[in-house]
Amino acid sequence: MKRFLTAIFLFSCGTCMSQANFSFSDSAVLSRLSRDVHILASDSFAGRKSGTEAEKKASLYIISCFREAGLTTAGTGDSSYLQPFPVASYTTPRDSNTLSIEGYQETILFRRDFCPAAYSANGLVNTKRYIMIDLDPARVPVKKMPRDTSASLSDTIRKAFQQGHSCVILYNEGLLAPVERRLLYARGKVKPGDGPVISVSPGIAAFLQKHPGANISASVNVLRSVSTCHNIIGSISNGAPYTVVVGAHYDHVGISGKGKVFNGADDNASGTAMMMELARYLKQSGDKTSNYLFVAFSAEEDGLYGSDYFAEHPTVGLQTINFMVNLDMVGRLGCEGKQVTIFGTGTSPYWRTLYKETPHPAFRICRMHGVNAFTDHVGFYQHGIPVISLTTGFHYEYHTTRDDAETLNYPGMADLTSYLEGLIHGSLKEGKVGFQKVAQWYDLSANFKIILRGIDHMMAVGMEE
């Protein structure tokens, strides 16, 4: 099987230098969707972990499909279709970190009582000039989902050192929810400050608050590295005033500690395959009403870094983007009762009319007014761009080594692809689609069911296998 997939891969790369003429019969579409998923989700792609050789191998296959479809590059600076971006690896504290506090009688243990923060510089400090920062106010309000939390903390730390403090001490980090901690320590944005930054336990914080000016002595030693990841961008330029962006993340989580491959067939070879099939169709349709960008995002699994980077460094003017379609986990129609969930239905007043006018006889639509915080449309919404994000739902193979190509519903993917073709064409009759913010409760309402399913999933099968 591996030899067969490798042969397909090499054949595709060798034949995609000129645009192909595709058939869009049901059997042809079904065959291409299945082929693309089986290749991307094969063991030879090693789970498509961002910043690795496996990501590069997957990118080569996607580029070959873009070229075969006749897509051109769009503002990536060369003919590679690649948009590189840096992602800082997680800061790894070494065991040599120490902390002692004047007058504190108990033993201070590394990792239990203190740990260098991601913003910390390496070095030694022996000082009474430090500042304490309570992280509890940095908690994410339910009414909104700010994208500048890490920038605010970074600015606070930078100003503290500029004011002459020799050390910054963070506390109440344990009160932060995982999503809040992720925003606070966004890997793509965190840079070390000008001195030690240490997160301490509530007990240490309470002692320092009762004994202001107590001398502290610390040794900080953390290991950092930066990896380069790549978005893949293909364009259909029709000279139209506006552009539709169709995106899907192609990265997954790699290989387990036991050497098993997380193939990520549904998450998200399915969305990548559907995006590429839409590219073939829209290029060959001859419709000149809109321009199109097809973006395969990397580093989604690490924290939406690829889509965030594109939204902050777009290859076309943001004001010319009409709307964004995101495809994430679209290969398991039937796992939630033949239902397709669409997030972001409140981000444009036109969506309500469009959904009513676009037929979908093969499944029913569950419309979510808000924006799901855990996938790649978020950065576009934050820049005032209407979004449509589709998924066929949660299942027990999610983020396990059982998310394989054989588990997907390919006829369901073909039906959803046909629906999207109608949805995109229908939207172009409107011209520029209007944007509107969703209600203040969107973050909770959009994510509540997903959170419950995730808890159920983890209780049932665990997180690794």
DSSP letter string over 201-215? -HHHHHHHHHSTT--
The pLDDT, as a whole number, for residue 307 is 95
Which whole-number Å values give the CA distances from 197 to 12, 119, 151, 192, 218, in the listed order?
50, 6, 15, 9, 10
Q: What pTM was computed for the model?
A: 0.77
- Give the closest residue to 47 by CA, choosing from 243, 234, 260, 201: 260
The pLDDT, as a whole number, for residue 413 is 97
pLDDT truncated to tens, each residue of the chain (465 aa)? 343 344 344 444 444 446 789 999 999 999 999 999 999 999 999 999 999 999 999 999 999 999 999 999 976 555 689 999 988 766 788 889 999 999 999 999 999 999 999 889 999 999 999 999 998 876 655 444 444 566 678 888 989 999 999 999 999 988 887 667 766 776 556 777 789 999 999 999 999 999 999 999 999 998 887 889 999 999 999 999 999 999 999 999 999 888 999 999 999 999 999 999 999 999 999 889 999 999 999 999 988 889 999 999 999 999 999 999 999 999 999 988 899 999 999 999 999 999 989 999 889 999 998 888 788 999 999 999 999 999 999 888 988 999 999 999 999 999 999 999 999 999 988 889 999 998 644 555 555 555 555 555 444 444 445
How many degrees, rounded to 5, is the angle at CA 371 between CA 369 and CA 373? 150
Tell which CATH classification among 3.40.50, 3.30.565, 3.50.30, 2.80.10 matches the domain 92-223: 3.50.30
Give dist(CA 48, CA 229) in Å, integer. Answer: 11
CATH 3.50.30 range(s) for the chain read 92-223
Q: Where are the alpha helices (DSSP H) in 166-267?
A: 178-184, 202-210
CATH 3.40.630.10 range(s) for the chain read 2-87+228-461
DSSP 336: T
> Strands across the sheet with 167-171, in order?
114-116, 197-200, 167-171, 130-134
The pLDDT, as a whole number, for residue 451 is 54
Q: Which CATH number does 2-87+228-461 carry?
A: 3.40.630.10
3-state secondary structure of 216: strand
